[in-house]
């Protein structure tokens, strides 16, 4: 019995510390995990609006988990040209009827990002996560979970999570000036109810047999590879989470793909051989995503991620080959 007493006393002091804090970080973190859990495990269908800049797009979405734990999703864009994204566990298929194209992205389930408690320390190192209030979205009461960055290298987030299930009804990406650069918000939603597999099948599934098919897949080697590329000025808080050689739909040859993440945002680096037409140095953006293209040592480098332009650029500009051995003439493969 005596051995347990220290835990009791320590537990009491923990409770007191928690009570003294204005926003409860423990509660904020727990809500974030609840949001991720709800997104993966609940059946729901609804309509959401994606806004970025002065643009908006409305889509319908159905998420269905079968009794065996298989996860199926279908998103259909309702404005402008018809487009559908269907997810079948770890395979993602985009149907683009306008150009009669199907893009298939096969993902390695072991490399999929999952919000594990092991990643929470990363998030809490770079952000302050708090429950800051309540709101109402698509007819549901929700808790506002605010994620504030601790520096200017990353964007903030704000989620409104349905009070009972934790399903994210609205998410915003917030810049330095406290303005939303991008948002997703449900306008109509039903949680639970009767679902079946047909609801998450594409209406183009049979029509698309003779369409152009672009496949994108990770290399057969399942483990992280050493592509030979390193950063000499890695932004603080970002860690390398994966490094692979892969194919990318519509791109010739092998592409080195390195991903850096601070727990909440990810930045991808794609390095490939120089195309015939040398690309210009450009920075483009769409909502929270910045995309920077440059050339380096006979390669084309594309860096993109949900982070401010300066962070994306810092990664792109600090990229270098680790060794100084001569580059292959065609530049198609980075050094090993």
Chain positions 103 to 142 lying near other proteins, rule: CB under 8 A, are: 103, 105, 107, 111-117, 119-121, 124-126
Of 183 and 334, nearer to other proteins (C-beta) is 183
Closer to other proteins by CB, 27 or 327: give it.
27
CA dist 68 → 106, 110, 194, 331 (Å): 21, 18, 16, 46
Q: Give residues 137-166 in contact with other proteins (rule: CB under 8 A).
A: 150-153, 159
283 binds other proteins (CB under 8 A): yes
State the nearest-atom distance from the C-beta of 222 to other proteins, in Å.
14
**In the complex, minimum distance from the CB of residue 192 to other proteins, in angstroms, rounded to a whole number:** 16
Work out how close the CB of 227 gets to other proteins at its nearest, in angstroms, rounded to a whole number. 15
94 scored as a contact of other proteins (CB under 8 A):
yes
Interface with other proteins, residue 314, by CB under 8 A: yes
- Integer Cα distance of 147 and 127 in angstroms: 6
Angstrom distances, CA of residue 191 to CA of 41, 44, 170, 272 = 11, 4, 15, 43
Measured from the CB atom, the residue of 73 and 135 that comes closer to other proteins is 73
Q: Which of 248, 271, 300, 301 is close enough to bind other proteins by CB under 8 A?
A: 248
Residues 6+ away with beta carbon under 8 Å from 196: 64
CB 102: neighbour CB atoms within 10 A?
22
**Interacting span for other proteins (CB under 8 A) from 204-212, 223-231, 247-255, 327-335:** 247-255
Q: List residues bridging with 289 in a β-sheet.
A: 286
Residues 19-38 that bind other proteins (CB under 8 A): 19, 24-27, 29-37
Which listed range, 40-48, 187-195, 219-227, 328-336, lies at the site for other proteins (CB under 8 A)?
40-48
* Alpha-carbon separation of residue 257 from 9, 23, 271, 275 (angstroms): 50, 38, 7, 17
Q: Which residues lie closer than 8 Å to 133 by C-beta, 6 or more apart? A: 143, 144
191 contacts: CB under 8 Å, gap ≥ 6: 42, 43, 44, 162, 165, 167
Q: Please give the residues from 43 up to 72 whose contact with other proteins meets the rule CB under 8 A.
A: 48, 50-57, 59, 61, 63
Residue from 60, 175, 187, 268 in contact with other proteins (CB under 8 A): 268
Instruction: For residue 280, report the phi and psi dihedrals to the nearest 5 degrees.
Output: -80, 155
Other beta carbons within 10 angstroms of residue 167's beta carbon come to 24
| Part in contact with other proteins (CB under 8 A); list of ranges 10-18, 188-196, 221-229, 326-334 | 10-18
List 89, 233, 323, 330, residue binding other proteins (CB under 8 A): 233
Of 189-197, 202-210, 287-295, 320-328: span binding other proteins (CB under 8 A)? 287-295
Quick check: 226 binds other proteins (CB under 8 A)?
no
Query: Strands 212-218 and 101-106, how do they pair?
Result: parallel
């Amino acid at each position: 019995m005596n051995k347990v007493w220290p835990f009791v006393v320590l537990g009491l002091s923990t409770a007191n510390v928690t009570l003294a804090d204005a926003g409860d970080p423990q509660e904020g973190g727990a809500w974030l995990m609840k949001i991720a859990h709800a997104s993966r495990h609940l059946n729901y269908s609804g309509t959401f609006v994606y806004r970025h800049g002065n643009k908006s797009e409305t889509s319908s979405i159905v998420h269905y988990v079968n009794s065996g734990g298989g996860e199926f999703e279908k998103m259909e864009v309702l404005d402008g040209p018809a487009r559908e994204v269907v997810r079948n566990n770890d395979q993602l298929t985009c149907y683009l009827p306008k150009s009669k194209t199907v893009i298939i992205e096969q993902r390695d389930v072991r490399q999929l990002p999952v919000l594990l408690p092991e990643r929470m320390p990363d998030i809490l190192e770079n952000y302050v996560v708090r429950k800051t209030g309540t709101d109402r979205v698509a007819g549901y009461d929700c808790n506002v979970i605010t994620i504030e960055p601790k520096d200017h290298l990353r964007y903030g987030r704000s989620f409104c999570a349905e009070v009972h299930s934790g399903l994210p009804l609205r998410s915003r990406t917030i810049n330095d000036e406290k303005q939303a650069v991008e948002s997703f918000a449900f306008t109509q939603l039903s949680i639970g109810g009767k679902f079946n597999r047909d609801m998450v099948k594409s209406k183009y599934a049979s029509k698309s047999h003779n369409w152009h098919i672009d496949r994108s897949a990770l290399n057969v080697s399942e483990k992280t590879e050493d592509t030979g590329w390193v950063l000499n000025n890695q932004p603080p808080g970002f860690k390398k989470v994966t490094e692979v050689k892969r194919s990318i739909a519509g791109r010739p040859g092998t592409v080195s793909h390195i991903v850096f993440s601070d727990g909440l945002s990810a930045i991808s680096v794609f390095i490939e051989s120089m195309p015939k037409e040398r690309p210009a140095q450009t920075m483009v953006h769409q909502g929270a995503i910045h995309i920077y293209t440059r050339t380096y040592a006979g390669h084309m480098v594309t860096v993109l991620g949900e982070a401010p332009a300066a962070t994306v650029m810092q990664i792109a500009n600090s990229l270098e080959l680790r060794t100084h051995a001569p580059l292959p003439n065609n530049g198609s493969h980075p050094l090993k």
